[in-house]
Structure 1
């Protein structure tokens, strides 16, 4: 092989980086669009004026969209982490011999959390917690529990009993079986539940603007109150792009090939 041919062939590390870039290409494209619209919304003023030709102000400027995006991500991230800890932890606890009697209770509590409207949760939480970010975190936490609990229970319950027998036959303790056998096998199902929970909460978090939680719901609520559709479009566009970005990232995580 000539020196030119050698240079034309990417090294192993370079080829690996190229493969990773291709694999994560779709989420990166959505993320790029999200950032472009967040920091470049002013460039769309002409198009927004087509939506509201008789309105003096079509660009939402009370707070920067970048700040609202950061606060939106923060609220969803905190609520999602808490939901994951409680949901996965609770599901694991009730699938152990000592906690099986509580399995129906945990499943019912998680179901009630999602069937109870987030607006109602906010209405009940505000008198106790006040206005701001905390009530919407509580609402998102309750709303996001069901998919996580349900999928964790399904993932752990769906493991072949023979796998447990084999693990015990190898002398593994219960904690080792959980960490090294059950959770890795149930991970795809659990991750799918987390994906559903997080994606739903990205959209649901917008209602936090009604109780003083500053996020991407601000332009939407302001647009509804002032009859400004351009404001609504800006908030809805960024929320939609954020949801698609996160959902496509989770989709890639579920498809990620296992290391040899």
Structure 2
């Protein structure tokens, strides 16, 4: 990473942190967007606290999606599980079939309001990109490489852990990045079912016709998404340089 690129990333992260911790400093920028007599800065909850909960929900759901999707992709790329590939694809595509609001509406009667239905919706939506990218990475390993690994005395498990998985890592990370960004955006609507996220600020702005609130919440979410995507991108490039490039479905 160049010094200029690192400086820009650090400056962007510092600006976002300042915005979340001390939003009052940005009141002059938000004031023109607020209705006459209405507050320009959302003060009902701490932006930093909402951002932390928002990120926590996204991270937990993405981790769960990654574990399940990678396990499923590994299974269907083994001889014993190859015939289950069409079924697996159908299962991970289910989450993309319904809009997030519909998933939340279905889950609320089952698990109640709050973070639980939001986590389930994020988990379901995060499966597809990780599964497809893991599948692309694992199936891209040349047969000659696997034959060479087995010829050196590696077991099938060792060949997977020491050859296939490292070579597929850049593609898998690309899928996790995409899933995390999708989850970060989707978590916003969790506030419609009483989950505490940055969507709370956006919804409050829409309910009160206060564009300043909408801009405040949307800006924080967009900045987090860009920083997370950029961070994963750096890790992907480092993995590709160290371990060798792998095709990505993203």
**Farther-moved stretch of structure 1 (103-112 vs 148-157):** 103-112
3-state SS in 1 of match to 2:153: coil
Other-structure match for 2:208: 226
2:242 is matched with 258
Which of 32, 46, 53 is 1:71 aligned to?
53
Determine which of 57, 71, 79 is the counterpart of 2:39.
57
1:189 aligned to which of 157, 167, 171: 171
State the aligned residue count: 241
Aligned position for 2:191: 209
Q: Secondary structure at the match of 2:206?
A: helix
Cα 1:25–1:165, aligned 2, differ >3 Å: closer, same or farther?
farther
Q: TM-score, normalised by structure 1?
A: 0.88
Give the Cα separation in 2 of the matches to 1:210 and 1:27.
Answer: 32
What is the deviation of 1:55? 3.6
| Partner Cα distance (1:99, 1:62) in 2 | 51
Aligned pairs for 1:11-50 within 5 A: 24-50=6-32
Distance across 1 between alignment mates of 2:30 and 2:122:
31
* Alignment match of 2:91 (pick from 102, 109, 127): 109
Once the two structures are superposed, the pairs formed by residues 107-256 of structure 1 within 5 Å of their partners are 107-256=89-238
Higher Cα Rg: structure 1 or 2?
Answer: 1
Q: Which runs of 4+ in 1 moved over 3 A?
A: 19-27
Q: Answer whether contact 1:30 1:244 (CA < 8 A) is retained.
A: no
Superposed displacement of residue 57, structure 1: 1.5
CA contact 1:27–1:246 (8 Å) conserved in 2:
no
Question: TM-score, normalised to structure 2's length?
Answer: 0.92
Moved more, 29-38 or 172-181: 29-38
Deviates more, 1:127-136 or 1:155-164: 155-164
Structure 1: runs of 5 or more not aligned: 1-18
Displacement of 1:248: 0.7
Q: Work out whether residues 26 and 248 of structure 1, in 8 Å CA contact, stay in contact via their aligned partners in 2.
A: no
Shift in Å at residue 143 of structure 1? 0.5
1:141-181: CA deviation from partner (whole Å, max 9, x where unpaired):
01111000000001111111111111111111011011000
- Aligned equivalents of 1:233 and 1:22: distance in 2? 28
Give the CA RMSD over aligned residues: 1.6
Structure 2 residue aligned with 1:86: 68
